[in-house]
Amino acid sequence: MAVLPWVDFASILPTPGELLNRAWEVLQPGGKVGLLHQFHPQLRKSDARLVAIIQVIQGTNARPRCFTVLEKEYIIPKYTFVQLGKSNSSST
């Protein structure tokens, strides 16, 4: 789970997109990652599946945050099928 602090030094920390990209590199297919942030992140990965968006309220007079859970889906490779017994060369 990646939690971002909202303090003055937050400008030197990675962005939510950078955190998700780093998590995606090490995440196994079927694995999940959670991110707590003020906004729901944009999904740019084709193998990302949105599992949940949970609103987190800290108390009165405070902004709610989004806890987003993403799952890395299994990618099925594309295969080229060839019909067996057929020759590509023409015989005359």
Query: Is the full-model pTM beyond 0.75?
Result: no
In a domain, 59, yes or no: yes
In a domain, 2, yes or no: no
User: Does 89 or 59 have the greater pLDDT score?
Assistant: 59
In a domain, 22, yes or no: yes
Nearest to 55 by CA among 72, 36, 42, 73: 36
User: Average pLDDT for residues 15-41, to the nearest whole number?
Assistant: 87
State the pLDDT at residue 84: 67
- Half-sphere exposure of 65 toward its Cβ, with a 13 Å CA cutoff? 15
Question: pLDDT by residue (tens digit) across 42-53?
Answer: 777 677 888 999
User: Average pLDDT for residues 54-71, to the nearest whole number?
Assistant: 90
Contacts with 16 (C-beta within 8 Å, 6 or more apart), sequence order: 2, 4, 35, 37, 41
The count of domains in the chain is: 1
User: Average pLDDT for residues 38-44, to the nearest whole number?
Assistant: 79
In a domain, 55, yes or no: yes
Q: Where residue 32 falls among pLDDT bands split at 50, 70, 90?
A: very high
Q: Give the tokens for residue 31.
A: 């694995």
State the pLDDT at residue 1: 63
In a domain, 89, yes or no: no
Q: Which domain holds residue 60?
A: 15-72
Q: Give the tokens for residue 7.
A: 């303090």
Enter the DSSP assignment of 88.
S
Dihedrals φ, ψ of 9, to 5°? -85, 10
What is the separation of C-alpha 76 from the centre of its chain, rounded to a whole number of angstroms? 17
User: Average pLDDT for residues 49-74, to the nearest whole number?
Assistant: 89
